[in-house]
């Protein structure tokens, strides 16, 4: 795939050697998570709120209550940006100045519209649940009309985006490399712990395959 066009808005100015505009790379950063920080303006102030999301093709979808302040603000503004970040490691250099982190982050800018078609809303809400835990949706009690009507679903077009990736070791000043100071990387990772069944479950209701698979895939 191609790159996003570089504009003044999405151009990475600091650490540009770590920047990428490659659509495939940016999509892989987006798809590796399910919580984005969505930014909006309220009373002239910029605020960001963590929200569940899913990407379908070249659009991102978020949802929430019909009265959600952030959702209503970006719907009125007709645009939003989202930032997704995965922390991969602490980079401990020989000087404070070169301390850093390894990470993958993406920022997306796009137009915001409301999804009002019932079937499309259902498709998106299913995808949001399955983005959290693959294959979960089909095991659930079907969504009611009341629930769907109580949910605001917004589409954010991915008009432009950029990503930054740092995935290398310590980069110290040449003159510091011989100092007797330990330097290195401490990798960090978000892992799943064993599932805890709801105490209202009957003894016959076992942990399903999709949850066991999620745990196996995400445990340390």
Residues 67-106 within binding reach of a copy of itself (CB under 8 A): 67-69, 79-81, 83, 85, 87, 90, 92-97, 99, 101, 103, 105
Judged by CB, which is closer to a copy of itself: 1, or 187?
Answer: 187
Q: Among residue numbers 4 through 33, which ones bind a copy of itself (CB under 8 A)?
A: 8-9, 13-14
Work out which of 1, 2, 141, 145 binds a copy of itself, going by CB under 8 A: 141
Dihedral of CA atoms 47, 52, 55, 56 in degrees, nearest 10, equals -120
Nearer to a copy of itself, 1 or 202 (CB): 202
CA distance 84 to 40: 15
Instruction: Tell me: does residue 217 bind a copy of itself (CB under 8 A).
Output: no
- Part of the chain binding a copy of itself (CB under 8 A), chosen from 20-28, 53-61, 111-119, 135-143: 135-143
192: left (phi over 0), alpha (psi -120 to 50) or beta: beta
Ranges within 28-67 binding a copy of itself (CB under 8 A): 35, 37, 39-43, 45-50, 52, 64-65, 67
Torsion angle, alpha carbons of 119, 108, 43, 63, to 10: 20
Residue number, 21 or 214, with CB nearest to a copy of itself: 214
Query: Which residues make Cβ contacts (< 8 Å) with residue 37, sequence separation at least 6?
Result: 48, 49, 50, 51, 82, 83, 84, 85
CB of 132 to a copy of itself, least distance (A): 6
- The C-alpha atoms of residue 72 and residue 65 are separated, in whole angstroms, by 10
User: Contact region for a copy of itself (CB under 8 A) — 23-31, 53-61, 112-120, 185-193?
Assistant: 185-193
- What is the b/e burial string over 114-129, where b = at least 16 CB atoms within 10 angstroms of the residue's CB? ebeeeeebeebbbebb
């Amino acid at each position: 795939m191609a790159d996003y066009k570089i504009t003044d808005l999405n151009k990475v100015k600091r650490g540009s050697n770590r920047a990428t505009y490659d659509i495939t790379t940016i999509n892989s950063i987006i798809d590796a998570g399910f919580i984005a920080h969505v930014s909006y303006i309220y009373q002239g102030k910029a605020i960001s709120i963590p929200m569940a999301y899913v990407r379908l093709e070249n659009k991102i979808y978020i949802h929430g209550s019909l009265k959600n302040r952030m959702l209503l603000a970006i719907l009125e503004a007709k645009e939003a940006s989202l930032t997704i970040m995965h922390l991969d490691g602490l980079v401990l250099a020989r000087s404070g100045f070169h301390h850093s982190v390894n990470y993958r982050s993406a920022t997306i800018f796009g137009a915001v519209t409301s999804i009002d078609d019932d079937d499309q809303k259902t498709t998106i809400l299913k995808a949001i649940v399955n983005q959290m835990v693959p294959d979960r949706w089909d095991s659930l009690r079907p969504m009611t009309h009341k629930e769907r009507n109580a949910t605001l679903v917004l589409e954010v077009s991915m008009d432009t985006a950029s990503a930054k990736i740092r995935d290398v070791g310590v980069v110290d000043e040449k003159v510091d490399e011989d100092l007797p100071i330990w330097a290195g990387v401490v990798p960090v990772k978000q892992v799943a712990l064993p599932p805890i069944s709801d105490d209202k479950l009957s003894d016959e209701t076992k942990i399903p395959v999709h949850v066991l698979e999620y745990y196996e895939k995400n445990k340390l």
